[in-house]
């Protein structure tokens, strides 16, 4: 059994990503109020970045392993550097030369093109596009369908609204 912290929409998508890799798996959805036994495998199924970071930091300090949820239909180039506790959803594409930090969500159908660097605790929302050589700072959020042209730098804690073209 795998415990998914959270019980909302993001938790359901995490469960589907895990299910794509391991058929017949059983999940238990929990709120953060319930402690996780050190023998339990778990995923952070919460989309809220500050909450995700707090949980990540707490469990990593305790020496725990947080599972990554990587959908079978994610495309990841061979030389991509991947951090811990990732959530890479169905249809996400990560091209060559990219570096993806810890506790990152690259959501459904998002595209991260060549040589991008994505910091820790970042959320790239569904359908967002990072063109080549984009840098995304820690804790940034790139909204659904947003486009970030080549070579741009998104600062830490930035919020890029859905459907926008980042200047």
Give the residue-averaged pLDDT of 63-80: 95
Q: pLDDT tens across 88-127, in order?
A: 999 999 999 999 999 999 999 999 999 999 999 999 999 9
The closest of 32, 108, 112, 36 to 69, measured between CA atoms, is: 108
Token output for 85: 């506790």
Give the residue-averaged pLDDT of 3-20: 93
The closest of 101, 83, 84 to 140, measured between CA atoms, is: 101
User: pLDDT-based confidence at 27, cuts 50/70/90?
Assistant: confident
Percent of the chain at pLDDT exceeding 90:
79
């Amino acid at each position: 059994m795998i415990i998914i912290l959270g019980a909302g929409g993001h938790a359901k998508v995490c469960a589907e990503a895990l299910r794509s890799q391991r058929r017949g798996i059983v999940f238990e959805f929990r709120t953060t109020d319930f402690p996780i036994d050190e023998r339990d495998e778990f995923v952070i199924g919460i989309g809220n970045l500050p909450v995700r970071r707090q949980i990540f930091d707490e469990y990593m300090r305790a020496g725990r392993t947080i599972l990554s949820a990587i959908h079978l239909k994610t495309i990841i180039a061979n030389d991509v550097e991947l951090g811990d506790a990732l959530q890479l959803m169905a249809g996400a594409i990560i091209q060559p030369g990219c570096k993806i930090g810890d506790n990152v969500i690259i959501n459904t159908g998002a595209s991260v093109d060549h040589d991008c660097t994505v910091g820790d605790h970042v959320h790239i929302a569904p359908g967002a596009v990072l063109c080549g050589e984009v840098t995304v700072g820690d804790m940034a959020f790139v909204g659904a369908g947003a486009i970030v042209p080549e070579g741009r730098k998104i600062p830490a804690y930035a919020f890029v609204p859905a459907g926008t073209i980042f200047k």
